[in-house]
Each structure stands twice: as C-alpha cells, then as structure tokens.
Amino acid sequence: MSISVLLSILVTSLATYLSRFLGVLSSLKIKETSKIFRWFNCLAYATLAALIARTIIFPAGALLDASYLSRFLVVLLSLGVFFMTKKNFVYPTVFSAISIGVINNFF
C-alpha cells in the first residue's frame, strides 16, 4: 500500500476514536433523564426513521427492482415481528432481509 493510503487510514481512525473518547468523557456528566439527552435521543430516532422512509420510497441498488407494494408489505410484516419479539431489533432485521428476497423472487 502507498503511504498516502496508510496515512488516510491513520487520520480517519484517529478522528473516529478521538471523538468517541471525548464522547465517553463528556457522557459521565449527562443524566439520562435530562431534557437535552432526551432531545438527542428523539433526534437520533427521527433521523433513523427518515433514512428508513427514504430507503422504502426512493430505493437505490437492488431495491429498485422491488415494487412499492412488496417493500411496504415487508415493512408491515417486520413491524409485526418487532412487536411480537418484545421490541427486539435482530429478528425483524433478519426477517426483512429474507422476506424481501422471497417476495421478489416468487411474486
């Protein structure tokens, strides 16, 4: 590898881990029940919801071949799995990946 690739990996790693380290240090003084913490939590969930909606409505890559109906059906079924598994994220994620493949191949 060239020296520029190694340098870029080093700089990006340093930036990533430095910000995480500073986050850990600053989180010691933040209460989970504070208004600012709850606001950031809401902001994170809203960003995630927007990204999921964008992926469903304006897909890219392999999802372009899937119809809107199949995408919405997978979302509804995955939400059902999410609530049936007591709000576990692993099962609906795996289920959605498998079900979109099955629905696109057979319907």
Confidence of residue 30 (pLDDT cuts 50, 70, 90): confident
| Stated pTM of the model | 0.61
pLDDT digits (tens, 9 = 90+) for 59-91: 988 888 899 999 999 999 999 999 999 999 899
pLDDT, residue 19, reads 87
What single-letter amino acid sits at 35?
A: K
Per the CB < 8 A criterion, the answer to whether 66 and 104 are in contact is yes
**Per-residue b or e along 57-78, where b marks 16 or more CB atoms closer than 10 Å to that residue's CB:** eeeeeeeeebeeebbebbbebb
